[in-house]
Amino acid sequence: MNKDCLRCKTKMEEAYQVDFPSLIIQRKESGLKGAFAKTSEVNAWVCPNCGYVELNACNPEIFK
Ligand SMILES: [Zn+2]
């Protein structure tokens, strides 16, 4: 997947999150929490030119 920086249009690089556990998100209205909920990890992208950081849900379809 290629991404261009929204600010300066430089090609962004994918980054790993070094904290543990990594950021997990779920649909707010699902009413479920933890293991029973549909969740998505979050990827981070960094612009090596201006430092802009963008976060993207790995499974955005769970929010439909
Ligand atoms: Zn940039």
Domain total for the chain? 1
Instruction: Report d(CA 20, CA 56) in Å as an integer.
Output: 18
Measured from the Cβ of residue 12, the count of other Cβ atoms closer than 10 Å reads: 21
Write out the residue range of the structural domain in which residue 57 sits.
Answer: 13-63
Using the mean position of ligand 1's atoms as its centre, give its distance from the Cα of residue 16 in Å: 18
Give tens-digit pLDDT for 3-51. Answer: 999 999 999 999 887 776 678 888 877 666 666 678 888 889 999 999 9
Q: For residue 55, is it within any domain?
A: yes
Q: For residue 4, is it within any domain?
A: no
* Per-residue model confidence (pLDDT) at position 52: 97
Average pLDDT over residues 44-59: 94
Using the mean position of ligand 1's atoms as its centre, give its distance from the Cα of residue 20 in Å: 27
Contacts of 24 (CB under 8 A, 6+ apart): 39, 40, 41, 42
Q: For residue 8, is it within any domain?
A: no
* Per-residue model confidence (pLDDT) at position 54: 94
Predicted model pTM: 0.71
Using the mean position of ligand 1's atoms as its centre, give its distance from the Cα of residue 30 in Å: 35
Q: For residue 7, is it within any domain?
A: no
Using the mean position of ligand 1's atoms as its centre, give its distance from the Cα of residue 14 in Å: 13
Average pLDDT over residues 49-59: 94
